[in-house]
Amino acid sequence: MVWEKRSYAYEIGLVKGKALGPVPGLAPWPKSQGVEVMASKGPRRVLYAGGCSFEVDGARVLARYKDRTPAVVKKGRIVLTGVHAEFTGTDKDLLAGWAAQVDAGDGSLFYELLALVR
């Protein structure tokens, strides 16, 4: 992982690749904000809080930031996300926002990701 231009060891070792953060042009760390990512079913509003983009060989890109770098990737049954897909980034009460996202018909990125790993 490369965070603020410093390299860190990835001890878990679930996938081989790089996580690079924070993403330039989004909310400067430590601030957070709602951002739009492009997913397979169209644009999705999510919360960005200093997350990363990914470089993982053989991974399927599930969502991209506006600069086209991968925001969410899937390799096998592992999903890596640089955003908080459980939040829209528009709710003042984030826990309430998360609860609202779980409904099957809401079209959120969170539900879209859940459907992929079931």
**Three-state SS at 29:** coil
Backbone phi, psi, residue 114, to 5°: -60, -40
Residue 100 contacts residue 89 (beta carbons within 8 Å): no
Whether this prediction's pTM lies above 0.85 is answered by no
Whether residue 22 is preceded by a cis peptide bond, meaning omega within 30 degrees of 0, is yes
Tokens of 112: 């879209």
Give every CB contact of residue 78 below 8 A, 6+ residues apart in sequence.
14, 15
Both tokens of 62, joined, read: 């599930």
* pLDDT, one tens digit for every residue, the chain (118 residues): 888 888 888 778 888 899 999 999 998 888 888 899 999 888 988 889 999 999 999 999 999 999 999 999 999 888 999 998 877 766 544 544 445 545 555 667 777 777 776 5
H helices present in the chain, as ranges = 94-101, 109-117
Backbone angles phi, psi at 100, to 5 degrees: -70, -25
Query: Of 33, 34, 29, 35, whose CA–CA distance to 4 is shortest?
Result: 29
